[in-house]
Structure 1
Amino acid sequence: MSISIGNLRATASWNRTSRFWLAWPQATGHRDHDDAARDDSIALAQLLAVHAPVTMVATPMDVVQCSLQMPAGVMTLAADAGSSLLATQPVWLADAAGTVLAGVASDSLAGRDLAQAAGVQVVDLPAGWQGDLIETDGEGTAMVLARLAEGLVGGRVEAERLLAEKLGIMQVIWLNDPGAGRVPARYLAPGVVAVPGGHDANHPAFAALSANRDLLRAASDRVGRNFKVLDLPCPSRQRGCYSDCMVAGDLVVVPEFEESRDAQAFAQVVAALPDSRVIAFPATHLAGPGNGLGRTVLAQPKMN
């Protein structure tokens, strides 16, 4: 069932968390990798369960094995496309007071399945719009990937009107796509943004990422804060992303990729977030290419 959103607005990731959603790693045919990924998933579920309930999403074929390995209190959910269910990265919506979660915005079938599992309704978005293209601070400002406006007759003007109307986003910062197909930045706290850095001038993403970094450093959000931009390193051996931290309430989980730059990335985040609980967790076997833990774990905001 679809709903009319009225005064609803997109929430921030530092809202209180109602539930964490994780995807049970599917077999790749590489036993050592698969075993490590599943061990890390179990450990991550156990860590997060201290903060909020956890549901592990698994394919019907894997759900029995998954449920037998879960720590006490961690739920399992059978879904035909467990990983894609979470990959939709929906935009959670709350009422004007910021207290009641009212809907999930997604244009995909997986997003609708997730909305049903989460117990919320669906808000329709234009075709091709998905949460990975939008990163919001819950206060009316969002970083948005430039390609979100493609295909709209009115271009960015029309896109900004729809973002305001459907998601309560009143100020848009358009970012270039370095090739990942998602917003190449993440809010860690109000006014604090992490971006991937460390690329040399010959890297194909260098120009787009440099332009985005300069744009954010010169910008301010809707309430007048200048952005504090954390230029985090890139893993030297892995195709991961340190800036893709998982943020849920005051908890920030920095991905580790089993290399020396782990310590540098962690130290930068700790220094920038003195009021947050910052921890590190291995992401080598869990994160997809170009990702960290932010797009590996889905934090559902708390409903009242």
Structure 2
Amino acid sequence: MSWRMPAETARHDRTWMAFPAEGQTLGETAAEREEGYATWTAVAHAVAEFEPVSMLVDPRELPRARRMLSGSIEIVEAPVDEFWMRDSGPTFVVDDERPGVLGAVDWIFNGWGAPDWAEWRLAGEHGSIVAGAVGAELVSSVLVNEGGGIHVDGEGTVLLTETVQLDPRRNPFADRARVEAEMLRTIGASKAVWLPRGLTRDYDDFGTNGHVDIVATIVSPGRLLLHDQQDPEHPDHAVTRDLRALLSAQTDAAGRRFEIIDLPAPATLRDEEGFVDWSYVNHLVTNDGVVACGFGEEKADAAARAILEDVYPGRRVVTVDARPLFARGGGIHCITQQQPSL
């Protein structure tokens, strides 16, 4: 078998999500919980403008989900605790030697390094549940990894972060060679490009320890979109400057030097918790569209849409307010997972 993870820009059969379930992530107050439900629902409806959406829904949340979600969204009943589908769900792959065969890589999910606060034991089954629902071949992996920790070009290149795949809370016995061998076996990546770290806020207690999908993405072979924090008062100004220097010297699986396109951060620097990690890089590419994060900043949101329209020609870009997502630890890309067409 020769599994390969297609680029996110390839055609999709659908996008998978998980409906929020009550718990720490959703919020402690009624207002916080309602905000969470509403935001996940808004993202689902935005994605559904472009392609089908299937939603895992915990039995406890079925009445609410049926009330809030449009009839176009498929509800799949399944146990849910954490509901970041990019991370708990499978990574879909295809086999170019067997047309028509869909694979689903079932990474081990331990709640981003098994922190005390995370509820992830139910979510750890989402990979196999989704694979079973679509009849995909399950590709088991012993690597603790999340879909938000990788980005690919579909042609053999994968972006990784040293503080994620080599995190001792995830993979205490892994080294680069072992991780790279597993990336080749499971998603067909022959060239790994390692980032030394992610954005500053992502190292807080409720962070992922450096997911790449909030920092950089491959928009097309040889072209990288990179988060650009332009304000020197923000610690990510130095982080993104150093990442740009590192990535500009890297090559992809075909030996191409990367062209780097800067995607400026919004103007807001802080919230009540400290420096924000608000990033337009954390968008979802859909069939004929892009669902982008918005941050209530008209000028910055519009500038980001313009850049995304330029790098994804022919796709319509829509914005959903992602501040409630980032307040809970992620963005639009983090709560969605594309299923490629065969």
Q: Same fold (TM over 0.5)?
A: yes
Task: Note the 1:145-156 alignment, pairs <5 A.
Answer: 145-147=161-163, 148-149=165-166, 155-156=175-176
Letter in 1 for 2:3: L
Tell me the SS of whatever aligns to 1:81. Answer: coil
**Structure 2 CA distance for aligned equivalents of residues 23 and 211 of structure 1:** 35
After TM superposition, the structure 1 stretch with the greater mean CA deviation from structure 2, 147-156 or 78-87, is 147-156
SS of equivalent residue, structure 2 residue 54: strand
Distance 1:20 1:29, change over 3 A: same
Give yes or no for contact 1:176–1:211 (8 Å, CA) kept in 2: no
Q: Give the TM-score taking structure 1 as reference length.
A: 0.84
Q: Following superposition of structure 1 onto structure 2, how do residues 1-304 of structure 1 map, counting pairs within 5 Å?
A: 6-26=1-21, 27-81=26-80, 83-84=82-83, 86=85, 87-88=87-88, 90-96=90-96, 100-108=101-109, 109-110=124-125, 111-147=127-163, 148-149=165-166, 155-178=175-198, 179=200, 180=202, 181=209, 182-183=211-212, 184-198=215-229, 200-201=231-232, 203-235=234-266, 236=268, 239=276, 240-260=278-298, 261-287=300-326, 289=328, 291-303=330-342
2:105 touches 2:141 (CA, 8 Å); kept in 1?
A: no
Residues 13-33 of structure 1, C-alpha deviation per residue, up to 9 Å, x if partnerless?
A: 112111222232345244444
Contact 1:23 1:82 in 2 (8 A): no
AA in 1 matched with 2:70: P
- String of CA shifts for 1:66-109, please: whole Å, max 9, x gaps: 11332122122233225446132532211125753222241233
Q: CA RMSD in A?
A: 2.8
Query: What TM-score, normalized by structure 2, do the two folds share?
Result: 0.76
Moved more, 161-170 or 76-85: 76-85
Cα pair distance change 1:288/1:186, threshold 3 Å: farther
Task: Give structure 2 stretches of 5+ with no counterpart.
Answer: 110-123, 203-208
Moved more, 170-179 or 185-194: 185-194
Counterpart in 2 of 1:3? Answer: none
Deviation track 1:110-138 (CA, whole Å, cap 9, x = no partner) reads: 32233233432322223323323221111
Once the two structures are aligned, what percentage of the paired residues are identical? 26
Between 1:214-223 and 1:26-35, the stretch displaced more is 26-35
- C-alpha distance in structure 1 between counterparts of 2:279 and 2:30, whole Å: 24
C-alpha spacing 1:241/1:117, structure 2 compared with 1 (3 Å): farther
Match of 2:116 in 1: none
- Runs of 5+ in structure 1 lacking a partner? 1-5
Inter-partner Cα distance in structure 2 for 1:114 and 1:133: 19
Q: Distance in 1 between matches of 2:328 and 2:313?
A: 30
